[in-house]
């Protein structure tokens, strides 16, 4: 089994990297930790799949082969214990466009879109783009983890949203929702006739491999619901896109599929062959990645806990730390930017006095980030 070296620093400048070639930095030296991709080279088998396409040389239109459909079905069954039918699958180039289409189709100007905050920003931007009411409720800390304020959730449902955007594991904050939470979400959404759209892109980034990822769609196959899965986040192929929507309810699936016509391009051969290689051969790489991320998580957590006025609830999944700061740090994101560290401002996720820091990088870069934070006087 190949041993991967996640300590290796790979120069990504001048690769059209959204992270490293941000025009905002101009010539300034910057350590970028904003958008959610990782600083690590992907698994060898993924590179081999890409090399094979390059050597073949033809880049025409592609179809999603049955072999890929079967691989996705197998992963959802084996990793998340959900037995799905092949015909429930709808393949798309990305989850965000998929959620946008679904919100356009299933919400309206009277019955809007519900989501927890803080949350991955497209969740609250999509209703705004579509001119649909945005209804939110807060996440709260309970027993050392982020979870829902279920009273606030029910109150929000009373405003009659048509769809609820569920992020599991949650970004930011890293919550892996447990069965009791899932049951409560399902029961309240049923009570208020609200369709669940579930984004499970971070499912394979659980920092405690013994924890279970529970698919909310498994318990509601008779009802309209959409659950999105992708390999792109956990296996660091975000730039290629590709995802599968599982839609058990036939009328919902047919309406969704029809809505994709003309809006969604076909998947590229690159993304199809890379997803196939990932499903078949990605487990060795992932099994080495997770302990590395957990180690970085623990380094960062220890560091944050030692800084007066900074705090962080340990993550259960993802590599996106959600760090709170008090007023002694001033405008922390801006001050960090001035000192050469780019993190995302909490407000982007509708969280005030937080930063989101992406720690999926070689340990040396994380240590450099900690040094920059520690160097700020406050
Ligand atoms: C929760 C969540 N969903 C979706 C995405 C992006 O998915 P896609 O690139 O397939 O649109 C991200 C990216 O960070 C994410 O965190």
Q: What's the gap in Å between 364 CA and the centre of ligand 1?
A: 26
SS3 92: strand
Q: Which two tokens stand for residue 62?
A: 């592609």
Q: What percent of the chain is predicted at pLDDT more than 90? A: 97
- Mean pLDDT, residues 96-110 taken together: 98
Q: What would the pLDDT profile of 223-279 be if each residue is shown by its tens digit?
A: 999 999 999 999 999 999 999 999 999 999 999 999 999 999 999 999 999 999 999
| DSSP code at position 108 | -
Report whether residue 120 contacts ligand 1, using a CB cutoff of 6 Å. Answer: yes
CB-based contacts of 7: which residues, under 8 Å, 6+ apart? Answer: 362, 363, 364
Q: Could you tell me if residue 81 is left (phi over 0), alpha (psi between -120 and 50 degrees) or otherwise beta? A: left
Q: What would the pLDDT profile of 8-38 be if each residue is shown by its tens digit?
A: 999 999 999 999 999 999 889 999 999 999 9
Report whether residue 101 contacts ligand 1, using a CB cutoff of 6 Å. Answer: no
**Is the CB of residue 206 less than 8 Å from the CB of residue 316?**
yes
Residue to mutate (ligand 1; options 95, 118, 173; most atoms within 8 A of CB): 95
CB-based contacts of 70: which residues, under 8 Å, 6+ apart? Answer: 86
- Evaluate if residue 377 carries a pLDDT over 80: no
Q: Is 43 exposed, middle or buried (0-12, 13-18, 19+ CB in 10 A)?
A: buried
Give the chain's mean pLDDT.
97
Q: Which two tokens stand for residue 348?
A: 């982007």
pLDDT the model gives residue 378: 66
Nearest alpha carbon to residue 256 among 265, 245, 268: 245
Report whether residue 71 contacts ligand 1, using a CB cutoff of 6 Å. Answer: no
Map out the domains of the chain with their CATH numbers: 23-44+283-375 (3.90.1150.10), 66-281 (3.40.640.10)
Q: Is 301 exposed, middle or buried (0-12, 13-18, 19+ CB in 10 A)?
A: middle
Q: What's the gap in Å between 41 CA and the centre of ligand 1?
A: 19
Atom of ligand 1 nearest to the CA of 202: 1
pLDDT the model gives residue 64: 98
Residue nearest to atom 14 of ligand 1 (CA): 36
Report whether residue 95 contacts ligand 1, using a CB cutoff of 6 Å. Answer: yes
Report whether residue 215 contacts ligand 1, using a CB cutoff of 6 Å. Answer: no
Residue nearest to atom 7 of ligand 1 (CA): 95
């Amino acid at each position: 089994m190949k041993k991967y070296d996640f300590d290796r620093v790979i120069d990504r400048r001048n690769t059209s990297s959204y992270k490293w070639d941000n025009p905002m930095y101009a010539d300034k030296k910057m350590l970028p930790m904003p958008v959610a991709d990782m600083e690590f080279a992907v698994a060898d088998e993924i590179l081999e799949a890409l090399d094979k396409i390059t050597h073949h040389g033809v880049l025409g239109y592609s179809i999603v082969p049955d072999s890929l459909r079967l691989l996705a079905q197998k992963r959802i069954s084996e990793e998340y214990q959900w037995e799905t039918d092949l015909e429930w699958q709808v393949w798309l180039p990305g989850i965000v466009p998929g959620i946008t289409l679904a919100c356009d189709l299933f919400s309206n100007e009277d019955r809007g879109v519900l989501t927890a905050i803080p949350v991955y920003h497209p969740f609250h931007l999509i209703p705004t783009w579509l001119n649909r009411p945005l209804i939110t409720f807060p996440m709260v800390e309970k027993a050392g983890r982020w979870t829902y304020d279920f009273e606030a959730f029910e109150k929000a449902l009373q405003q009659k949203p048509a769809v609820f955007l569920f992020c599991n594991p949650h970004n930011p904050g890293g919550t892996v929702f447990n069965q009791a939470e899932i049951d409560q979400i399902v029961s309240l959404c049923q009570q208020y006739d609200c369709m669940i759209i579930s984004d499970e892109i971070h499912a394979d980034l659980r920092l405690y491999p013994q924890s279970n990822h529970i698919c909310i769609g498994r318990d509601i196959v008779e009802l309209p619901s959409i659950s999105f899965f992708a390999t792109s986040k956990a296996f660091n192929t975000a730039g290629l896109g590709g995802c599968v929507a599982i839609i058990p309810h036939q009328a919902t699936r047919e309406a969704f599929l029809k809505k994709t016509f003309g809006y969604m391009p076909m998947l590229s051969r690159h993304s199809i062959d890379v997803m196939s290689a990932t499903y078949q051969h990605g487990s060795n790489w992932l099994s080495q990645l997770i302990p590395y991320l957990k180690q970085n998580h623990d380094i960062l957590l220890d560091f944050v806990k030692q800084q007066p006025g900074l705090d962080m609830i340990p993550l259960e999944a993802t590599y996106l730390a959600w760090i709170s700061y008090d007023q002694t740090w001033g405008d922390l994101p801006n001050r960090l930017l001035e000192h050469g560290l780019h993190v995302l401002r909490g407000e982007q996720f509708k969280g005030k006095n937080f930063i989101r820091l992406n720690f999926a990088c070689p340990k040396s870069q994380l240590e450099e980030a900690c040094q920059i934070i520690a160097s700020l006087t406050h």
